[in-house]
Amino acid sequence: MRYVSFIHRDDTGYGVSFPDLPGCVSVGGTVDDAVRQGSEALAFHVEGLVADGEPIPQPRSIDAIKADPGLADWRQGADFVLIPLLLDRGDRREGSISRSTAACSRPSTTRPGSAG
C-alpha cells in the first residue's frame, strides 16, 4: 500500500503531507530526510488509527489526487512522492499492520504535470 505525499520546500527545509491522511505531516532538512520522516509519520499515524479502532483510508492514485479540485491549492508547487506503508521491520510486506516501527523502501517521486 503506497500513499501519495506532497513535499513542499520553504526557506527552512521540506514539509511532507498526505492528502489521504489529514493531519499526518512531517518535515526534514533535505528531501531524503523529509521522505524518511514522512515514512515514520505515516506509520505512526496509521498505527494510531489501528490502536483507536479507526478505519485506515485507502490510498488514492496520483491521477485521483491530481483530479481532486479540493486539493488544488494544497498540491500547488509540490512534488508528489509515493511512500509505502511498511510497519513491521521483521515482515517487510507493504501494508502489514503491527505495533512496531516503520521501515521505508525507496519512494517514487513524480513532479506535478508529469505522468505518474
Going along the chain from its start, the domains and CATH numbers come out as 2-110 (3.30.160.250)
Quick: pLDDT tens for 7-26: 999 999 999 999 999 999 99
Q: Give strand pairing partners of 108.
A: 82
pLDDT at 92: 44
Query: In the predicted model, is pLDDT for residue 95 greater than 60?
Result: no
pLDDT at 106: 36
- Is the four-CA dihedral 48, 54, 58, 59 of positive or negative sign? negative
pLDDT at 80: 93
3-class SS at 65? helix
pLDDT at 88: 61
What are 27's three cell numbers?
518535515
pLDDT at 75: 85
> How much is the pTM?
0.74
Quick: pLDDT tens for 43-94: 999 999 999 999 999 999 999 999 999 999 988 999 999 999 987 654 444 4
Residue 43: φ, ψ to 5°? -65, -45
Give the single-character DSSP code of 107. P
Q: Are 41 and 14 in contact (CB under 8 A)?
A: no
pLDDT bracket for residue 96 (50, 70, 90) = very low
